[in-house]
Structure 1
Amino acid sequence: MEILGNKFREARKRKRLSQTALAAGICTQATVSKIENKNRCESLDIFYSLCTKLDILVEEYLVENEEQELTKILDDVEYLCNNNKCKEAFELLECYGDKDVVNLSNDLAVRYLYYKGRTSSNGMSYYKQGLAYLNQAKSLSKKTSVYSLLIENAIAATYMLNGEGLKKAQLHFERINQMLQEFSEELLPPIICGLYYNLAKYFSELKEYQKSIDLCNAGIRINKRTNSNVYLVFLLYEKAYNEFYLDGTEEGYRIAYYMSEFINHEYILGCIKKDMNKYNIEL
């Protein structure tokens, strides 16, 4: 792998270590010399140990390659999608250009195709294109993972968005519900919260209000555990709606209202106000 040799040398000098002292117990002095003078290290384990000894981060001393660059872009795309800005996420991916996934690691290829599909469908209403990317991602996903869940969710959401409705989406929502049983909630990341929201909406459509509430609560717990707010106001609103239909409880609407007002989420705030007016719910 390619190393930022000069930067690495400066880090060693700041620690007041000779090449021989740094290499002691890890590798040969020649290996350290090769890193600094030829910008190469053939062992990630050795390089990791050297960086640990210098109290520096490995990734800050590697020459950025194509996969690292794409990972950073996908992190930005993920942030935008989590904040319901799929159009901006689509535009960011378009600026990067299409990638040949053959040259990417499997996990990165799946993640890239997932976001290409999701942003095409949710951001631009390019449903046919979105489904093509998502099905390609699904074909590459060789194991049950968070992204295999997200892919199923995005396919189901696309069918709902393009007007094909529950009939086509139902199979995918039921599959998601089964797949979730394979995961511990405590290990799920906040990016999964949008899935919980969509699944809760699905069960609400079936008038399974308690199931919908349970799913909303799971998404809310994940946000609390990870100190995040991914789809939080959506989950609070969906929970309030189902609680009201289940037993007439109104307090959930007030909680959702104040949270949406606090973070200035105009869309959800508008939905809540409309419902509260319709059902004569007062703050």
Structure 2
Amino acid sequence: MRLKGDVLKQIRRKRGLSQTALSEGICTQATISLMEKQNRIPKMNILTAICARLDIPVDKIIENDDVSMTSQFDEISLLIVQKHYDDATERLNKIKVKKLQNDFDKQRYYYLLGVLQVATDQVDEAIFNFELILTQFSTMSANIYWALTTVGMAMAYEKRGNEERALKFLQRAVTLIDEKQLTGGKRQWIIIYRNIADLYLKLKQPNEAIKIANRGINICREDLSMFLLSDYYQVIAKSKVMLEDHQAAIENYEIAKSLLLINDQTENAEALENEIDQLK
């Protein structure tokens, strides 16, 4: 595995960032200097955080036969978002945790395992794995998995029926996001805001759900992405129903339906049409 320091330097300058600005909250300025001048490879969580800040894949600046586990974890994460839990489990089971070479990969592994366990009603196991991340990896640099795991705890406790504890973890996750300079890719931010907004809705906090959903929508707009965009508008629509603002609910459902049709999700769009009809 070889770091392409010259490419890193070019991209950093193109983004208008100094070495100090790129390193802020992630590592030292000297680390960036060593990467650019001596092709020194930092710890994987630092490397991933730097790439996230530059909005580039790791393999953009790494020449290697195995660009950590990033691509595999990203594929598994997408399968979970799409609710293909069996496929996600099969892919995750192929990864041997004892062979993972750095703590960041282990952090991501246990997070995805915990999310899958929540989705498949293995709540106690999920809480165990989330707690493992929050204790064992608490000294790592502030990456988005810190907040994602905290949201995962909220998801687990909501599924267990402990709404008070779920809300506590959810609020803690939002505080982490607002007060810490967490590093993460655009897709991860879109996922975490969708999960938070959805949980606030389940916990009967419609105004908070709308606020968080709008954060996610703004990221989608900035990135010209339609990823989970329909989900956000559905959360807002359901929140408006809870607030008894049926006209606003219909408007947001219509937007969500249009986005589903654009993405050829006809069956899901028809389900939203039924929701709209019930509000008219």
Q: TM-score range by the shorter chain?
A: 0.5 to 0.7
The letter of the residue matching 2:164 is K
CA 195–257 in structure 1, closer or farther in 2 if over 3 Å, else same: same
Match of 2:225, SS?
coil
1:203 match? 200
Deviations 1:243-281 (A, max 9, x none): 34433322111111111222234675365234223222x
Q: Closer, same or farther in 2 for the Cα pair 1:113/1:207, shift >3 Å?
A: closer
Q: Which amino acid aligns with 1:182?
A: E
Would the alpha carbon gap of residues 58 and 177 (structure 1) be closer, same or farther in structure 2, given more than 3 Å must change?
Answer: closer
Q: Is the 8 A contact 2:142 2:182 kept in 1?
A: no
Aligned to 2:279: 279
- 2:259 is matched with 259
Q: Which structure exhibits the higher relative contact order, with contacts defined as CA atoms closer than 8 Å and separated by 6 or more residues?
A: 2
User: How far apart are residue 219 of structure 1 and its match?
Assistant: 0.7
For 1:231, the equivalent position in structure 2 comes to 228
2:211 to 214, 217, 221: 214
Paired with 1:146 and 1:76, the residues of 2 have a C-alpha distance of: 17
Give every structure 1 segment of 4 or more consecutive aligned residues whose post-TM-superposition deviation is greater than 6 Å: 184-188
CA contact (8 A) 1:197 1:219 kept: yes
Structure 1 unaligned runs (5+)?
4-42, 49-55
1:164–1:244 CA distance, 2 compared to 1 (3 A): closer
Aligned residue for 1:100, secondary structure, equals helix
RMSD: 3.3
Matched, 1:132 2:135: no
Offset of residue 156 of structure 1: 1.3
Q: Distance in 1 between matches of 2:86 and 2:234?
A: 23
* Rg (Cα) greater in structure: 1
CA contact (8 A) 1:90 1:120 kept: no
| Contact persistence 1:191–1:230 (CA under 8 A) | no
Distance (whole Å) between structure 1 residues aligned to residue 142 and residue 156 of structure 2:
21
Where does residue 11 of structure 1 map in the other structure?
none
Residue of structure 2 in register with 1:192 after alignment: 189
Q: Out of 125, 143, 146, which is 2:144 matched to?
A: 146
TM-score by length of 2: 0.67
Please name the residue that 2:25 is paired with.
none
Identity percentage of aligned residues:
17
Report the 3-state secondary structure (helix = DSSP H, G, I; strand = E; otherwise coil) of the residue aligned with 1:136.
Answer: helix
Q: Distance in 2 between matches of 1:58 and 1:194?
A: 25
**Which one-letter code corresponds to 2:256 in the other structure?**
A
The 8 Å contact of residues 143 and 184 in structure 2, kept in 1 or not, is answered as no
CA apart distance, 1:182: 1.9
